[in-house]
Structure 1
Amino acid sequence: MNLFNLEGKTALVTGTSGGLGQAIATGLAEAGANVVCVARGSSEAAVEKAKASGRKAAAIKADLSDASGLQAVFDEALRLTGSIDVLVNNAGTIRRTPAKDHSEKDWFDVIDLNLNSVFLLSQIAGRHMIARGSGKIINICSMLSYQGGINVPGYTASKHGVAGLTKAFANEWAASGVQVNGIAPGYMVTDNTAQILADEKRKASITERIPAGRWGTPEDIQGAAIFLASSASDYVNGHVLCVDGGWMAR
């Protein structure tokens, strides 16, 4: 199990005010990592859960859609910890409107946070990791990295882009000891899916397609995150791991 041991490592996780980000930060801490939690809102719950595992944890409040502040976020994380071994790009948003009505604001709000921040923060962290000769970057992709979805053109474009960036960075950085991979969650019970969950007919049709017979929970992502953050994945590069209850196999 030493392959999955994260003791002595520090992870920077974005979007930790709840949902997947909070669960990922908690899982990494339980596997031994110290964590820096970044979110626009409060990361207090994520920090407390990490500390309950006996790890060091800190929070940074930031709007990651503001590209001008990303270097400062990373610099603050370095000041707090001394080094960042793992970056998890989880922060994201979604706007549900038919394509013909999808506003320019909705488009840019989604692209700025879901795609531009992933590129820029990965670039910043990548420079740090390449100079050191090791590091892990985990990008949270989506089933909509593969499919078109309904009423979410901006989100779909952003998540296709994140999957592409994962492969592009991996191609360039693998030889420098930096692994860049992604996790594509299936249908998860989070705030982002609340609108679908409220539609009983749509919820039922989605559940029917999932071989596991249920929607995922944020905790279902933890094992994949620990694997991709640990030395167990040292020869895994540019891969997007579906954690979907079998949705993509259907």
Structure 2
Amino acid sequence: MTDPTQEPSSPDYFSVADGPRPDYARLFRLDGRTALVVGGGSGIGRESALALAAQGARVVVADRDLAAAEATVAEADGASYDGGLVTHELDVTDEDAVRQSAAELGVVDTLVFTAGTNVRKRVLDYSGEEFDRVVGLNLRAAFDLVRAFGPGMAQRGRGSIIGLASMRAVMVEPGQGVYAATKAGLLQLLRTVAAELGPQGVRANTIAPGVVGTPLTTQIRADEEWAGAYATKSALGRWAHPGEIAGAVVYLASDASSFVTGSQLVVDAGWTAVDGRFTPPG
């Protein structure tokens, strides 16, 4: 029973702010932490897995294509990857498999989901099956992953959830409507997760890449005119290597971003900052 004569204790708002400064030499290190990279068999997922391991994390490379996950681990052979990498076969469109993976893998400090798909069609040409397929992998799977791994993070009082959205979360073009809707949905989903799990010490953010050379963009890169138009739209005038997105993943997984949550980190070479493709004279 509360003593009415006793002053209520005040929350400690400043314990971290008044504490020692971070160890800047180890700001991006991930030693002793486990990271799960979903979609780690190719593209941004593969490079993110390698980058996290290089900073000392033990990385679980999850992919429904186990051979692709094994190829990612093979990339690290003979290199200096302090944390090590292991494979895990997982189809994230199978809700039961996601839940089972959370039980099997145990402590996961960082959850990264990069798996995604796209059907490039105008909205009126889309079928219901295509809509369900894109939404199922890009958004529903993220929802299931958060529900499976978020409770453990909240119980431990720490964790970083990182979703790969896209600049399409805020900018769209014909033929990208459903994909864009899923990426906007992912952004809002993780903003909500940030709000709901922040009091338990769990952070949630998205990364919004621009045009990146991955299997998902093969169709565009095969068309020289299309690929060139995309390249010249950005301030840097080129496509990104998947490894150029991995730095953002390491940042959001590490203590370097300890005060960052509910954010979208845009890595798009200035695409969303540049107005149009034509430079006026003068």
TM-score over 0.5 for the alignment? yes
Q: Which residue among 84, 92, 107 is the counterpart of 1:56? A: 84
In the other structure, the counterpart of 2:95 is 67
Q: Which amino acid aligns with 2:73?
A: V
What amino acid is the match of 1:13? V
Which residue of 168, 181, 186 corresponds with 2:192? 168
Q: Does the Cα contact within 8 Å between 1:210 and 1:245 map onto a contact in 2? A: yes
Alignment of 1:1-250 (within 5 A): 1-41=25-65, 42=67, 43-50=69-76, 52=79, 53-78=81-106, 83-250=107-274
CA deviations 1:16-68 (Å, max 9, x no partner) are: 11101000000000111011111111201222334641433221112111222
Is the CA contact (8 Å cut-off) linking 1:184 and 1:242 kept in structure 2? yes
> Which stretch has the larger CA shift, 237-246 or 48-57?
48-57
5+ residue gaps, structure 2, are 1-24, 275-282
The count of residues paired between Structure 1 and Structure 2 equals 246
Higher relative contact order, structure no. (Cα contacts within 8 Å, ≥ 6 residues apart)? 1
Residue 25 of structure 1 contacts residue 50 of structure 1 at CA under 8 Å; is this kept in 2? no
Aligned counterparts of 1:54 and 1:133: Cα–Cα separation in 2:
25
4+ long deviations beyond 6 Å:
none
State which structure, 1 or 2, has the greater radius of gyration over its C-alpha atoms. 2
* More moved, 54-63 vs 102-111: 54-63
The alignment's TM-score, normalised by the length of structure 1, stands at: 0.94
SS in 2 for 1:180: strand
Name the TM-score, length of structure 2 as normaliser.
0.84
8 Å contact 1:12–1:77 — kept in the other structure? no
Amino acid at match of 2:70: E
Amino acid at match of 1:154: V
Q: Which has the higher helix share?
A: 1
Structure 1: unaligned runs, 5 residues or longer: none
Letter paired with 2:181: A
**1:200-235 CA distance string (max 9 Å, x none):** 222222211111121011100111111100011111
Q: Shift of residue 126 of structure 1?
A: 1.1
1:46 is paired with a residue whose SS is helix
Q: How many percent identity over aligned positions?
A: 37
